[in-house]
Amino acid sequence: PKSKWLRENPLLNVDDYEPELDLLEITMEIIEIIKPKYWVIENVVGSIRYFKPKLGIPRQIIGPFVLWGNYPEIIIKGDLPSKASKDKRWSKLRSNYKAKIPIQVSHGLLIAILEQTNFSDYWL
């Protein structure tokens, strides 16, 4: 699904373009049913205009990664690796490589959740 937004060029007339949002809608249904404490939906910058009516403004944008959800703020220490370093241009798995979330983002989310505190930590 990301590839649809990756190819979108804001300089071209894309007013008639409407991507399929089935995966987003099903994901939102699952979140509504399960009601997890934390959840994250990630996509690319080009998806904002299509996701915003359903998810609102992104919670965070970290480099090329746009995040919506309910989670503590992710703080990244250091730079993210270049997307070009993941570009396996001639591989049949190219889109799989490019879709990988950098360990810095995943680890940042893990640390943010593990270090999250609330009033009950101090008052109960």
Give tens-digit pLDDT for 6-60.
Answer: 555 555 555 667 889 999 999 999 999 999 999 999 999 999 999 999 999 999 9
Give tens-digit pLDDT for 72-123.
Answer: 999 998 888 776 666 667 788 877 777 788 899 999 999 999 998 887 777 7
How far is it, in rounded angstroms, from Cα 93 to Cα 88?
Answer: 8
Residue 95's pLDDT is 76
Give tens-digit pLDDT for 48-76.
Answer: 999 999 999 999 999 889 999 999 999 99
- Pairing type for strands 39-43 and 60-62 reads unpaired
How far is it, in rounded angstroms, from Cα 37 to Cα 29?
Answer: 15
pTM of the predicted protein model? 0.77
Residue 118's pLDDT is 80
Residue 1 reports pLDDT greater than 60: no
Amino acid letter for position 41: I
Candidates 97, 106, 3; CA nearest to 62 is: 106
Residue 57's pLDDT is 97
